[in-house]
Structures are given as C-alpha cells and as structure tokens.
C-alpha cells in the first residue's frame, strides 16, 4: 500500500500538474509543489497521534502529490534553462543530487525513527494491554518530529525559490486543451509515446530491483547474506548510482544521450544475466554495479522524449510522469512471479524493462542519424 499510494499519486496528479504549469509557469508550480509536500509532512503529526494507518497513507499521498508536481515542473524547467544540447547533462546533475537522498535518507530514518530496539514477539506477548498501547503509541509518534523538521525545511525552501532570481517561464500557448486532446496530440510524437513507455519500464524496474534487492541477496542459492549485510549493499547500490549520476553530468556534455542510453542498457542487461546465472560473492558486487549504469536512464529518457516539443513541453512532461505509476504496478507482478517460480525467475521483469529501454536508445540513435543525414543533404543541396 505504501508503494501503491506513493507511485499511484503520479498517475492522478501529473496531468493536473501540467495544467498548473501551463497556467502559472514553472517556478510558481515548483513553489506550489513544495507547499503540498510540506502539507503532507505536517499531516504525519495527526496521523501519529490518531495511530490510523489510513491517515498515514493520506499524508504520504500528499507528500507524493507535491513531489509529482515539483518533478513535472522541474524536469522540463531544467531542460529549458540553457542550451538544448545540454539538457540531458543538466537533468543528470539534478537526478544525481536527487539520488544522493536515496543513499543518505536511510541513515537519517534509522537514527530518528528506527533507533529504538524493537522487542521480540515473545516479549510483546507478555505485555499488558496498557503496555502494548503505550508501545504502539511510541512507535506511531516516532515519525512526528522528523516530519515536522522536514516540513520546516520545505517551507524555507519555498521562500528560497520564491525569492530567487530564477525566471518564471510560461509556455506561449493560446490553446486550452483537455487531457484527452493533449493525449491525442501526443500520439503525433512517436518519440514521446515510446519515451513514456520507457519511463514506465524504468521506474517499475528500478523500484522492483530495490524492493527485492535484500530478499535476492539473502537467498541461500544466490549470495546467502544476512539481511543486515544485504541492506549495506543496497546503500552501496544507491551510492554508486549517485556517483555515476555526477559522472553522467560530465560525460553527456560530450556523448550523444541516445548512444549513452543504449550502451548503459546493454551493459545493464549483461550484468543482470551474470547475476541471475551465478551465485556467491560476485552477485552483490554486480548488483551494485547495475546501480551505476541505470543512474543516467531516467533523465536521459526524459530529455530525449521532450526534445523539440516547444509549447507542448509541459503537457508532454505531465504525460511522461503519469508513467511513473510503473513503480506501483510492476513490483507486484514481480512479487507474484517470485512466489510462484522463485526470486531468480522474477527478475525477468526488470530485464524485459531494460531491454525495452535499450531499444528506445537505439530508436533515438537512428532518429539522430537520420537527422544528421538530412542536414548533410540539405547543406549539399544549398551548395
């Protein structure tokens, strides 16, 4: 329910977010997204007091909705603020900073929320009703202070963005298209359509790999690690993704994004094929390496999908972010396969996803090749 609520919000909120951007501009939309996220963080306080799981999910939905609005606005905004050929590089820098949160946040969460030693089931069975109520209350309230702090930081960020000198760019469009009309128009852009499916596949594969990472390495037929040791490798996985994201920022200034995406897709598939057919200490090392090669995929797919869309960019961004719902839909499918056929076989889901992403990179590479040939023929004709 946590994953479904978080990623499902993208499906519901991304399209309205595109409308907000069209009406108010990128900068104001980012400020609005920050305010919605801060509201969600504040809702964790009454959720902790009431000890209602549904209230926690509502708070999480607000947090995810705010993040969805920010991402729908921020990604094309980063692409627009500068030369078009540097868009993929700038987006990789933004995503690298974002991924650093994945590496740092678990330690912060462990310190503030999971630092109390959880009693065993046998010990809890001896608790009186009053003791059990007090224990459950302490567990529920553990999230209150951290989320109040996060809300405070977000509100400071609202002031910073509002007062910054960044321009509030608005798309010059005179049309007031409905979502269905925008969707129909989107089908005219093949790269956008294929890119939307690539985003769906990528987020689903990333979340699936993350969700089953510890179970996979803990399996006695794979690496046989303890859950604690497997969790450490998961942190290394995100750290590797963060580092290579910064490297991608530099590399994509000199390498065509489509070619980089294709190469990373091929290497990721090769690493997965070895992981799924091997066992022992080599498997966790290769899984960590996969984190390094997938880190450039999301921003690169995004920049390729919206390239040259002009005043349709914000609506294209909204359509792309509805595809983040892949993070809610693919992990349950992998879980079902894992239950029925084993965890190794279940990794066919991310493998299929990365195979499609590799094809998308090849598709964009061929398009770029055609464009360069057309430009060459045009120049020859002029001469």
Q: Which two tokens stand for residue 159?
A: 């002031």
Domain presence at residue 172: no
Alpha-carbon distance 239 to 98, whole Å? 11
Domain presence at residue 123: no
Whether the per-residue pLDDT at 77 is higher than 80: the answer is yes
Look at residue 174 in the predicted model and tell me its pLDDT: 45
Residues 6+ apart with CB under 8 A from 53: none
Domain presence at residue 173: no
Helices (H), the chain: 2-24, 26-50, 53-80, 87-112, 121-125, 129-141, 144-163, 179-186, 190-218, 227-251, 257-277, 282-294, 297-306, 313-322, 326-341, 343-346, 348-382
Residue 104: band (very low, low, confident or very high) from pLDDT cuts 50, 70, 90: confident
Look at residue 312 in the predicted model and tell me its pLDDT: 82
Share above pLDDT 70 across residues of the chain, in percent, rounded to a whole number: 88
Alpha-carbon distance 197 to 325, whole Å? 11
Taking a C-beta distance cutoff of 8 angstroms, is the pair 214, 230 a contact? yes
> Mutual orientation of helices 190-218 and 179-186 as an angle, nearest 10°?
90
Look at residue 373 in the predicted model and tell me its pLDDT: 43
Taking a C-beta distance cutoff of 8 angstroms, is the pair 182, 325 a contact? no
Domain presence at residue 169: no
360 burial class (0-12, 13-18, 19+ CB within 10 angstroms)? buried
Q: What is the number of other CB atoms lying within 10 angstroms of the CB of residue 186?
A: 18
Question: Residue for token digits 């010990």?
Answer: 123
Residues 6+ apart with CB under 8 A from 232: none
- Give 99 or 65, the one with higher predicted confidence: 65
Measured on CA atoms in the order 148, 149, 152, 157, is the torsion positive or negative?
negative
Total structural domains in the chain?
A: 1
Share above pLDDT 90 across residues of the chain, in percent, rounded to a whole number: 36
CA atoms in the 13 A half-sphere facing the CB of 214: 10
Residue 179: band (very low, low, confident or very high) from pLDDT cuts 50, 70, 90: low
In three-state secondary structure terms, 223 is: coil
Per-residue CA distances from 86 to 77, 83, 261, 262 (Å): 13, 6, 15, 18
Among left, alpha and beta (phi > 0; psi -120 to 50; other), residue 61 is: alpha
Read off the pLDDT of each residue in 115-138 and give the average, rounded to a whole number: 69
Measured on CA atoms in the order 219, 221, 222, 223, is the torsion positive or negative?
positive
Domain presence at residue 376: yes
Taking a C-beta distance cutoff of 8 angstroms, is the pair 58, 43 a contact? yes
CATH code of the domain in which 47 resides: 1.20.1250.20
For residue 99, give its domain range.
2-117+128-163+178-382
> Mutual orientation of helices 2-24 and 190-218 as an angle, nearest 10°?
150
Stated pTM of the model: 0.75
């Amino acid at each position: 329910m946590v994953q479904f609520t978080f990623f499902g919000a993208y499906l519901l909120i991304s399209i309205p977010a595109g409308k907000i951007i069209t009406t108010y501009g990128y900068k104001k939309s980012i400020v609005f997204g920050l305010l919605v996220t801060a509201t969600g963080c504040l809702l964790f306080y009454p959720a902790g007091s009431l000890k209602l799981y549904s209230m926690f999910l509502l708070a999480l939905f607000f947090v995810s909705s705010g993040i969805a609005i920010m991402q729908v606005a921020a990604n094309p905004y980063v692409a627009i603020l500068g030369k078009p050929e540097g868009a993929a590089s700038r987006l990789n820098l933004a995503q690298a900073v974002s991924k650093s949160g994945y590496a740092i946040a678990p330690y912060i969460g462990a310190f503030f929320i999971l630092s109390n030693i959880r009693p065993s089931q046998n010990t809890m069975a001896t608790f009186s009703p009053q003791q059990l109520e007090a224990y459950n209350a302490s567990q529920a309230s553990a999230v209150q202070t951290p989320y109040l702090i996060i809300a405070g930081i977000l509100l400071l960020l609202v002031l910073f963005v509002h007062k910054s000198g960044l321009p509030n760019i608005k798309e010059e469009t005179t049309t007031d298209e409905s979502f269905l009309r925008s969707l129909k128009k989107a089908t005219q852009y093949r790269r956008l359509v294929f890119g939307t499916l690539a985003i769906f596949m990528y987020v689903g594969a990333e979340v699936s790999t993350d969700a089953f990472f510890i179970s996979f390495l803990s399996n006695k037929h794979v690496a046989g690690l303890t859950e604690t040791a497997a969790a450490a490798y998961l942190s290394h996985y995100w750290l590797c993704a963060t580092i290579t994201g910064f490297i991608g920022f530099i590399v994509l200034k000199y390498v065509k994004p489509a070619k980089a995406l294709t190469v990373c897709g091929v290497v990721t598939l090769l690493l997965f094929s070895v992981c799924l057919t091997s066992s022992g200490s080599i498997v966790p090392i290769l899984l960590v390496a996969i984190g390094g090669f997938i880190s450039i995929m999301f921003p690169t797919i995004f920049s390729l999908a919206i390239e040259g869309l002009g005043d349709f960019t914000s609506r294209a961004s909204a359509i792309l972010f509805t595809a983040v719902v892949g993070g809610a839909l693919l992990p349950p499918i992998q879980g079902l396969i894992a239950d029925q056929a084993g965890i190794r076989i279940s990794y066919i889901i991310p493998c299929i996803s990365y195979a499609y992403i590799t094809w998308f990179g090849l598709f964009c590479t061929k398009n770029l090749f055609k464009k360069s040939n057309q430009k060459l023929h045009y120049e020859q004709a002029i001469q």
